[in-house]
Structure 1
Amino acid sequence: MRKSISVKGLSHRHPVPNACRIGNMVFSGAVHGVSPITHELPSGMADQSANVFANMLAIIEAAGGSVEDIIKVEIYLRDSSDRNAVNEEWLRMFPDPQSRPARHVRPLPPDSPSLVQSEFIAVVEDVA
């Protein structure tokens, strides 16, 4: 059975959940760099990156998992050469080089208000 995952403060403007879980699989929608407290998008890459990873953590935990369950992350960047802040957050969230998810970087449209976004896939242990 499919279950929608919505995190308070991270809801979309549209009737779309933050993620969806079916069985032990979790698929996120777009994870934005907005603050879950102020609901605003900071102007800088470092702040947006920090929020993206914090929001990713909040979503996977709401789905019943942890960062250890994330197996693939898509990073979307407005400027593909601007990866330093993303890499800092990546290393903070996934410090063990022997246990990191796969990652791919894709472009955001040049007129996007976001500098960075992500999506992820996770396999969560079923707790019976």
Structure 2
Amino acid sequence: MRHSIQVDGFHHSGNPIPAASRVGSLVATGGVYGLDPETGIVAETAEDQVRLTFWQLGRILEKAGGSFDDVAKMTFYVASADLKPLINKYWLMEFTDEQSRPARHTLMYNSLPGDIVIQCDALAFVSSHE
């Protein structure tokens, strides 16, 4: 049975899309981006967007009963390849063990909505119950 995952302070601009969906142990996120929960808008700087993207993903995974340890694959959609060093900075903070990191793919994407310069999605396998 599928279960929608919602977190306070994260949305898809009024669209009827959950932050993630869980079916059994599989958790698949929608597009996760650097939304500042205090202002309700996308962070102004690229660094803040990357930081908040990872932070929001962590919250979504936690709400689904998991953590970054459960992530099998992440895909990043970026407006510029210049963001890779920032992604790597936060990637290494969350995935410290080089022998235990998820697969990752980064795609240049020129059609991100509004002021968004980075968005990601993730697949995770969470063994705990919600």
Same fold (TM over 0.5): yes
CA contact (8 A) 2:66 2:128 kept: no
Amino acid at match of 2:116: S
The DSSP-based 3-state class of the residue aligned with 1:72 is strand
Q: Identity of counterpart residues, as a percentage?
A: 35
More strand by share: 2
The DSSP-based 3-state class of the residue aligned with 1:51 is helix
Amino acid at match of 1:87: N
Is 2:122 the counterpart of 1:120?
yes
Is 2:33 the counterpart of 1:32?
yes
Q: For structure 2, which runs of at least 5 residues remain unmatched after alignment? A: none
CA contact (8 A) 2:21 2:27 kept: yes
Is 2:83 the counterpart of 1:47?
no
Aligned-pair distance for 1:124? 0.4
How far apart in 2 are the matches of 1:21 and 1:36? 23
RMSD over aligned CA atoms reads 1.5
The DSSP-based 3-state class of the residue aligned with 1:49 is helix
Q: For structure 1, which runs of at least 5 residues remain unmatched after alignment? A: none
Aligned-pair distance for 1:110? 5.4
In the alignment, which residue of structure 1 is the partner of 2:18?
A: 17
How far apart in 2 are the matches of 1:99 and 1:22? 24
How many aligned residue pairs are there? 128
Q: Give the structure-1-normalised TM-score.
A: 0.93
Is 2:83 the counterpart of 1:82?
yes
Q: Give the structure-2-normalised TM-score.
A: 0.92
In the alignment, which residue of structure 1 is the partner of 2:69?
A: 68
Greater mean alpha carbon deviation, residues 21-30 or residues 34-43: 34-43
The structure 1 segments of at least 4 consecutive aligned residues displaced by more than 6 Å after TM superposition are: none
In the alignment, which residue of structure 2 is the partner of 1:5?
A: 5
Amino acid at match of 1:116: I
Q: Deviations over 1:86-126 (max 9, x none)?
A: 11011111111111100000122156421111000000013
